[in-house]
Structure 1
Amino acid sequence: MASFSSYQEGPIELKGKKYPAKKHALNVAKHFLTKKSSSSRSVFFVSGEAPLPIPYCDQTYPFRQNRYFYYLTGCNIPSAHVLFDLITNKLTLFLPEIDYDDVMWSGMPMSLKKAKEVFDVDEVLYESKILKKLEDYSLDKREIYSTCYKNYKESFKKFLIADDKEFLWSLDESRMIKDDYEIALMRHAAKITDNSHLAVMSALPIEKNEGHIHAEFVYHSIRQGSKFQSYDPICCSGPNCSTLHYVKNDEDLGQRKSVLIDAGAEWSNYSCDVTRCFPIDGKWSKEHREIYDTVLDMQKQAFAQIKPGVLWDDIHILAHKILIKHFLRMGIFKSQFTENEIFESAASVIFFPHGLGHLLGMDTHDVGGLPNYEDPNPMLRYLRIRRPLQEGMVVTDEPGVYFSPFLVEEGLKDPKKAEKIDLEIMQKYYEIGGVRIEDDILVTKDGAENLTGITSDADEISKIVLDGISKGRDYFHCVV
């Protein structure tokens, strides 16, 4: 592991380079102009997020920059705006006016000159110049496209075409394909995430409940310079591992056997999303190892299919078929039924209810996937990508197997599913809760690259946990 300071400095290959905002604006314009109704005389205007006050309090909610705004600027300054002129290809960043009453509390904000040096834009002006710009464009019969009205001043709104489908589509299609700069940010987030997952696996002697696992991951992420998580970490143990987006993170590990941690660090607004599972005592039980090997096989075979042009639906369906083979071998599915009969009944959805993965970028569930949550097919309903893969996409490969009393009870209401399951054998797996293994995958020209470095090999994971327990007897003298 490299030193924490080396990660805090960011990707070495990006030193001296600006976030490619101008290139991104041109990408959006290129997509936008493929639409018949669009005009090369159009203008794009997007506002960043403003600090959001907490009611009845003098504090604000944690700041999260508008991702569309960030894509067009690389700027994380609150209450800023961006304008792109499709005729001149001029990109203008607008910063909020200096609030001199706030300087004593927060210091002087970035100057216009400094902002011009930092950001890849053609000019930087103060917000007071916006209204005149919008008025001039309106007088010239120019259409000004924007995102939602939520953050826009009342004086701006009458000039804007908000949430136009073709404009939003152009933004999403552009964000979906990552350039080299964005991939470097995501690689860096992945390295920090790898180290943090390794730290969690290695520190069982001081992790007595799910909250300690949560704290361990976040602590090591912050130490490496990642002050924000891509999403709230999912830290669960035993039967709690059957809840897909478990949020409590506060129960004692006690005599439970299994841990599932789904957590990812963020770097410069770009996400990482990784899930790992391990036995609390470092020793896989027969049932836990069977389910782990099932999920790992699903994930590896899915990864082998990832390349440009492949429909994500097909890879997802392959994962279900692999699950069925393993469950027949284990006896969870009754042997008198064929693999195809079980597949057609959708009985595997009881145990693998979510999609194989999703796009990843500035949002954890990133834009551009074209999901169809109204799909009548239960196997495809929650699939977040419903399109062929393209070079430059980053997707998660995250099959899972869960033994949720709720899902089982619901599934058994369907006789065609219920008859396929041996309940006596299945019940032996309830204490595991569930297993999910998740990696972040870059779709390359000829195939795929796994950006995730933390091991998913069951024997290696066991060794890491056991080594941590062994060292803990000698070195960990402070149990929180």
Structure 2
Amino acid sequence: MKYPAKEHALRVKNHFLAKKESVKKDATAFFIASAKYTNYPYCDQVAPLRQNRYFHYLSGIDQIAGAFVLFNVFNDKLTLFLPNIDEDDIMWSGMPLSPEDALKDYDFDEVLYAKDVAKTLKSLKSTNFDIYTTDTDEYAETAFAKLVIANDASFFYALDESRLIKDEYEISLMRHAAKITDNCHMAVMSALPIETNETHLHAEFVYHSLRQGSKFLSYDPICCSGPSCGTLHYIKNDDEMDGKTSVLIDAGAEWKCYASDVTRCFPITGKFSKEHLDVYETVRDMQAQAMKKIKPGVEWEDLHLLTHRVLIKHFLELGLFQNGTEEEIFDSKVSAWFYPHGLGHMLGMDTHDVGGHANYEDENIMLRYLRIRRKLEAGMVVTNEPGVYFSPFLLEHISKEQEKFVNKELVEKYMYVGGVRIEDDILVTPDGHENLTGITSDPYEIEKIVQKGLSKGKGGFHVIV
């Protein structure tokens, strides 16, 4: 089965025609360039290619640079322009994709070469076509860059709304990415005898991802231990783990340009400490309460605020919050300094995928970093990832009005945990939702996995994937 590029182009067309006023239905086209290879500064080494996601959405093509895709809205013709053949490069890189193979492997009506772009676009312009594109960054120096309309808000809207709802083909790719990621997280949990530095967590995940055919991760993994688990996007990944109790790993494999994004936490000793388990069970309940309500028509903002209420309830029971009712503490917004990020985000070709309608200027600190500000729809894939953190940097922001609700002496006893986040990838279905993530988040099952790995010892550990 081919990647449904034509179907995607038609989706964009429908959204664009519905959004754009006074559009020329009989004289409109979409044109997008692929990413191109670039050298590292002052070096002849080529940086890895990360395909333009909008180009990929209308083509299904990943590791090809210097290509273009054109969709004629009038006759629904989808054309691929392959990069021109460089005879010298064949010696180094082998034969490129041929037009015949491209037509066989991909969903196009016509395949030409990049040398044909200028002539094709000029022909359209001669019949009064408006040709919309995202940007001209990859070909700004060419004459045909002047023939296109870049940065049109309605075109971006159409692209993003189309990407928002995943079709069965896209979901199948995301299922596979999720399966690879499950195996990688299991491997990391099982390999503690050979993981004495955060770098080893990182290496273990990447190794097992590659072993399963995923050459790229969705993002740079977050591999932290102890107090560093309170840093949301920690990227050092190189501290020693000796003397610490907690691990947080946020990492996901990519499959054919589609992402997974999963976070798991586990105890280094194989047994959760009281404080670590207190925080873990709080986050697990936050996620579970939100999960129950994920279905079409639900406002994501409501789910996010629900998780704040669950946090407050647990903190009152633990004694971390005091001197107020659940409602008073919720209204004070003090929970934002223990849970500063949003409940989750859109997931697709990008880890933080398009279409969420975030408002990073929101005056409400509990909502400012929420990446989804819209109702859920069937076909969306979102992450459900609440977290609780004990970060000195965050706690400095507690105001005088808020501090009466915080038991600072008891909070200090939890600082060594750093933080806990549990993250799963969720498909919104017509009747509710489906969790694409299979790796367990049950703390007692996690303890068993870690203990089993520890029992093997440094000499007896074996690869599980």
TM-score by length of 2: 0.98
State the Cα distance separating 1:476 from its structure 2 match: 3.7
Instruction: Name the residue aligned to 2:160.
Output: 172
Instruction: Name the residue aligned to 2:296.
Output: 308
Q: CA RMSD in A?
A: 1.1
Q: Quick one: distance in 2 between partners of 1:54 and 1:116?
A: 33
Instruction: Name the residue aligned to 1:102.
Output: 89
Q: Quick one: distance in 1 between partners of 2:461 and 2:440?
A: 24
Deviations 1:241-281 (A, max 9, x none): 00000010000001100000000000000000000000001
Map of 1:62-81 to 2, 5 A cutoff?
62-76=48-62, 77-81=64-68
Q: Quick one: distance in 2 between partners of 1:342 and 1:320?
A: 10
Instruction: Name the residue aligned to 2:409.
Output: 424
Q: Match for 1:274 among 235, 254, 262? A: 262
Q: Quick one: distance in 2 between partners of 1:417 and 1:316?
A: 20
Report whether the alignment pairs 1:433 with 2:409. no
Q: Quick one: distance in 2 between partners of 1:474 and 1:124?
A: 55
Deviations 1:101-120 (A, max 9, x none): 11111011011111111110
| AA aligned opposite 1:50 | K
| AA aligned opposite 2:11 | N
Q: Match for 1:392 among 379, 403, 408? A: 379
Instruction: Structure 2 unaligned segments of length 5 or more: list them.
Output: none
SS at the partner of 2:144? helix
Q: Match for 1:34 among 13, 18, 41? A: 18
State the Cα distance separating 1:60 from its structure 2 match: 1.7
Deviations 1:151-192 (A, max 9, x none): 124212110100100000000000000000000000000000
Q: Match for 1:458 among 436, 439, 443? A: 443
SS at the partner of 1:33? helix
State the Cα distance separating 1:471 from its structure 2 match: 1.6
Instruction: Name the residue aligned to 1:85.
Output: 72
State the Cα distance separating 1:417 from its structure 2 match: 1.3
Report whether the alignment pairs 1:355 with 2:342. yes
- Between 261-270 and 100-109, the greater mean CA deviation after superposition: 100-109
Deviations 1:11-35 (A, max 9, x none): xxxxxx0000000000000100102
Q: Percent of counterpart pairs with the same letter?
A: 62
SS at the partner of 1:401? strand
| AA aligned opposite 2:441 | S
State the Cα distance separating 1:477 from its structure 2 match: 9.7
State the Cα distance separating 1:409 from its structure 2 match: 1.0
Deviations 1:308-360 (A, max 9, x none): 000000000000000000000001101x3000110011000000000000000
Deviations 1:432-461 (A, max 9, x none): 000000000000001000000000000000
Map of 1:60-209 to 2, 5 A cutoff?
60-76=46-62, 77-153=64-140, 154-209=142-197
Q: Match for 1:401 among 388, 400, 409? A: 388
Q: Quick one: distance in 2 between partners of 1:358 and 1:38?
A: 32
Report whether the alignment pairs 1:341 with 2:332. no
Question: Does the 8 Å CA contact 1:203/1:472 hold for their aligned counterparts?
Answer: no
| AA aligned opposite 2:391 | S
Question: Does the 8 Å CA contact 2:194/2:458 hold for their aligned counterparts?
Answer: no
State the Cα distance separating 1:473 from its structure 2 match: 5.5
Q: Quick one: distance in 2 between partners of 1:214 and 1:429?
A: 25
Q: Quick one: distance in 2 between partners of 1:360 and 1:203?
A: 28
Instruction: Structure 1 unaligned segments of length 5 or more: list them.
Output: 1-16
Report whether the alignment pairs 1:19 with 2:6. no
Map of 1:257-336 to 2, 5 A cutoff?
257-334=245-322, 336=323
Instruction: Name the residue aligned to 2:44.
Output: 58
Question: Does the 8 Å CA contact 1:311/1:388 hold for their aligned counterparts?
Answer: yes
State the Cα distance separating 1:382 from its structure 2 match: 0.3
Q: Quick one: distance in 1 between partners of 2:67 and 2:119?
A: 16
Instruction: Name the residue aligned to 1:11.
Output: none
Deviations 1:46-78 (A, max 9, x none): 000000121110012211000000000001211
Q: Quick one: distance in 2 between partners of 1:417 and 1:384?
A: 25
Report whether the alignment pairs 1:367 with 2:360. no
Q: Quick one: distance in 2 between partners of 1:472 and 1:123?
A: 58
Q: Quick one: distance in 2 between partners of 1:319 and 1:37?
A: 44
Question: Does the 8 Å CA contact 1:238/1:256 hold for their aligned counterparts?
Answer: yes
TM-score by length of 1: 0.95
